[in-house]
Structure 1
């Protein structure tokens, strides 16, 4: 019923990685584990079970707002600087549950399945990003012996 919209950068090396990322994580003030656990247990999981798109999207954004505190000081805001335009575009189109993957700059959001065509026609190229609509993976990693 829901699709995930990803805005993915087309160049490598954006966001922090390797030793720089590790050093930055060591400097971060951890957000309250209690707060994030509460959001997941009391809002996110029940909204998935109830198939409530609005409550799910609200919980995802609330969780992202909490975790973005990890990155604010290091990346000068809640989002990677290159991602801000994408976030605004997605909000203006009605994408819900918008967030950033770790340091970014991949941005994600959720849309109802019947809105995908509408969104795809209205998504405009922004800087170095491409768009992808995908589904959630309802199972864990699989190990395949060769």
Structure 2
């Protein structure tokens, strides 16, 4: 009788541990997927630093900024827009992106600025977020 109750209790504990483990794994997987889905489409541009590597067999074109009409010098920061792939100096494109949501060269539409807390945007409507984050 005692052995049977110990066995049934240990089976109950094992089932509980398995259920809790699976639910925690599922929640973790869901949050990772949600984080990926929320952050991925918001990528407006990639920032990189220009480094010239000269190879004797291959000449690569230097990044060129069509706003200021200058080639990028080594060590300068540039942004490559993900919508179209055009490169610009950081100090040239940032004022443009504050006013416009298109590429200055080809007029490709650039995604809007990401929300401050992207995971919260999944569960709460934007109007509620603006209500609580609005500065007085």
Greater length-normalized contact order (CA 8 Å, ≥ 6 residues apart)? 1
More strand as a share of residues: 1
TM-score normalised to structure 2 length:
0.26
TM-score normalised to structure 1 length:
0.25
